[in-house]
Amino acid sequence: MGHGPRDGFDNPIIEWVDSRLPIFTMMQKEYGVFPTPRNFNWFWNFGAIAMFMLITMIVTGIVLAMHYTADTKLAFDSVERITRDVNGGWLLRNLHMNGASFFFIAVYIHMFRGIYYGSYKGPRELLWILGVVIFLLMMATAFIGYVLPWGQMSLWGATVITNLFSAIPFVGEEYIMPLLLGGFSIDNATLTRFFALHYLLPFVIFAVVFLHIWALHVTGSNNPLGIEPKGPQDTLPFHPYYTMKDFFGMIVFMILYAWFVFYAPDALGHPDNYIPANPLVTPPHIVPEWYFLPFYAILRAITFNFNLFMLAGLGLLAVFMVEFIWRYKPKYLSGAQGILLLVAGGGLAVFGLLADFNQTWAIPMTASTDVPISAKFGGVLAMFGSIGLLVVLPWLDSHPIRSARFRPLFRVAVLVFTLSVFVLGYAGSQPSDKVYLSACLGDAQACEAIEHGNADHIEAGHEPTVLALDNTMIAQAFTALYFSFFLIILPLLSRFEKGRELPTSIHEAVLAKKQKAGA
């Protein structure tokens, strides 16, 4: 970096520094004249907004840390003291607390932009992957930060999530859990290490953001048309065009953020976190922060074990998927073999699932104590898998057109996918056994008894069948949709979608639009 030729500066002090360390030349090159596509829309504001939120979190966090005490006996009170007694402490805490939410809002919009306009495609794969790494680090940081105030949700949220690691076969319970917690439960040793990590991770994020932006400045930005700029007529210098546009967007975003900070600071949080942590009493309904809800729903959607029959079946289905969906032409197998795979794989998987639901059948190797992947571990794999898919997204979607504007089918798929993430978020916020719809089939009297909660009075032999659509089923259906978007829909679209004709260049498209608007 910064080894290129220098133009020099008029100001002698700047020139003195720059000739020894060309930092001003670099800033000028990367943020001054940096050629940027001229057709950005507002979605391109959210990178800068996320950067602003990261800095806000680090600055407010450092000051909060000066007043905070990481000790289970004192932590809750020290946070209360921050909000009541420390000068302006309420403001700092509200900024930090809601800042986490707004950081996630900015990053989620930023990620949606990346998917909708195909920014993850070559040559920007690594840029996208670094973004997913930032997202993972943010989730870790926010999860750990939420433990620090040591309220009921802090403790129990952390208990539920750290317990996920106990699902790792062989080593989870005995080695990983004690190492993670520093004891046998979430306690003082856990709180102190979480605080240390909560201080550290944002700086790690900062470093990865640096790499992310470095990679961006190698490839240049994508844009709403998804075609590369061909020359100076397609670009504008970053300053003043996009510095101003980013600044304006940031101010609008800050107004919204400030509204929450000043008028609804607890609207996004959970009231139970104002009850001091109590290791003997679990709150009746544990929910994570809103930004984790879709992933929490995926975690809870896996209510069944993966026994050997299911794994074998899924393995065969995976072979089918790779050979007949991912490859443009099947390489090793004939069509008949494909059908055989599909039937055998599907059959085995369904049989395994039924065997799991009906433990009374006592089919060998299906008891929940001797399955290779328990429901709990399956949930963990599904949750991390749902983020892992983002990493390989550039290879699952190999369609040559980037922007959804020119891919009508992809556009619908992305919007349905986005909707399914929202539905998963809702499902994550509700109790698993909540019933949305139910139908009672059979004896009318008995059905009435059930409706009135006197199921005990039903005569033997007259029990009706109750069909119910509960929250778990919703979560399962939309988890299936989430995974099939990546594994089936995108590869199929890459293969079959025609797409619209692309404009020849950015400036022509922009001018054509102007003319149409003027006419």
Does 100 help bind ligand HEM (rule: CB under 6 A)?
yes
Does 199 help bind ligand HEM (rule: CB under 6 A)?
yes
Does 369 help bind another protein (rule: CB under 8 A)?
yes
Please, is 391 exposed, middle or buried when counting C-beta atoms within 10 Å of its C-beta (0-12, 13-18, 19+)? middle
Name, in order, each residue with C-beta under 8 angstroms of 499's C-beta and a sequence gap of 6 or more. Answer: 399, 400, 401, 406, 407, 408
Short-list 28, 96, 45, CA closest to 68: 96
Does 273 help bind another protein (rule: CB under 8 A)?
no
Does 334 help bind another protein (rule: CB under 8 A)?
no
The C-alpha atoms of residue 420 and residue 519 are separated, in whole angstroms, by 40
Q: How many residues comprise the chain?
A: 519
Does 155 help bind ligand HEM (rule: CB under 6 A)?
no
Does 139 help bind ligand HEM (rule: CB under 6 A)?
no
**Which does residue 138 touch among ligand HEM, another protein, none (CB within 5 to 8 A, set by kind)?**
ligand HEM
Whose Cβ is closer to ligand HEM: residue 142's or residue 382's?
142
- Name residues contacting another protein, limited to 167-186 (CB under 8 A): 178-186
Short-list 325, 248, 268, CA closest to 94: 268
| Coil vs helix vs strand at 239 | helix
Which bin fits 307, alpha (ψ -120 to 50), beta or left (φ > 0)? beta
Short-list 251, 254, 367, CA closest to 309: 367
Select the span of 162-170, 197-205, 296-304, 404-412 touching ligand HEM (CB under 6 A): 197-205
Give least dist CB 447 to another protein, A: 21
**Which does residue 327 touch among ligand HEM, another protein, none (CB within 5 to 8 A, set by kind)?**
none
Does 156 help bind ligand HEM (rule: CB under 6 A)?
no
Positive/negative CA dihedral, 244, 249, 251, 254 = negative
Q: Do the beta carbons of residue 101 and residue 269 sit within 8 Å?
A: no
Residue from 36, 39, 141, 221 touching ligand HEM (CB under 6 A): that is 141
Q: Do the beta carbons of residue 112 and residue 126 sit within 8 Å?
A: no
Whose Cβ is closer to ligand HEM: residue 64's or residue 458's?
64
Please pick, among 119, 221, 374, 420, the residue that the annotation labels catalytic.
Answer: 221
Give least dist CB 289 to another protein, A: 17
Please pick, among 234, 289, 356, 397, the residue that the annotation labels catalytic.
Answer: 289
| Coil vs helix vs strand at 436 | strand
Catalytic residue check, 374: no
The C-alpha atoms of residue 475 and residue 376 are separated, in whole angstroms, by 15
% helix, strand, coil for the chain, step of 5: 70, 5, 30
Catalytic residue check, 212: no
Does 286 help bind another protein (rule: CB under 8 A)?
yes
Q: Do the beta carbons of residue 38 and residue 510 sit within 8 Å?
A: yes
Catalytic residue check, 266: no
Does 447 help bind ligand HEM (rule: CB under 6 A)?
no
Does 308 help bind another protein (rule: CB under 8 A)?
no
Q: In which element (H, E) is residue 421 found? A: helix 408-429
Whose Cβ is closer to another protein: residue 165's or residue 406's?
165
Does 434 help bind another protein (rule: CB under 8 A)?
no
**Which does residue 270 touch among another protein, ligand HEM, none (CB within 5 to 8 A, set by kind)?**
none
Residue from 308, 375, 389, 473 touching another protein (CB under 8 A): that is 375
Catalytic residue check, 245: yes
The C-alpha atoms of residue 166 and residue 175 are separated, in whole angstroms, by 9
| Coil vs helix vs strand at 151 | strand
Does 195 help bind another protein (rule: CB under 8 A)?
no
Does 148 help bind ligand HEM (rule: CB under 6 A)?
yes
Does 138 help bind ligand HEM (rule: CB under 6 A)?
yes
- Tokens 């975003």 — which residue? 253
Select the span of 160-168, 195-203, 236-244, 421-429 touching ligand HEM (CB under 6 A): 195-203
- The rounded radius of gyration (Å) of the Cα atoms in the chain is 27
Residue from 146, 238, 306, 309 touching ligand HEM (CB under 6 A): that is 146
**Which does residue 369 touch among ligand HEM, another protein, none (CB within 5 to 8 A, set by kind)?**
another protein
The Cα-based distances of 294 to 48, 139, 184, 382 in angstroms read: 25, 13, 29, 12
List of residues contacting another protein (CB under 8 A): 156, 159-160, 162-164, 166, 178-187, 189, 193, 279-282, 284-286, 300, 303, 305, 359-360, 362, 367-369, 374-376, 432-433
List of residues contacting ligand HEM (CB under 6 A): 54, 57-58, 61-62, 64-65, 68, 79, 93, 96-97, 100, 103, 138, 141-142, 145-146, 148-149, 198-199, 202, 205, 269
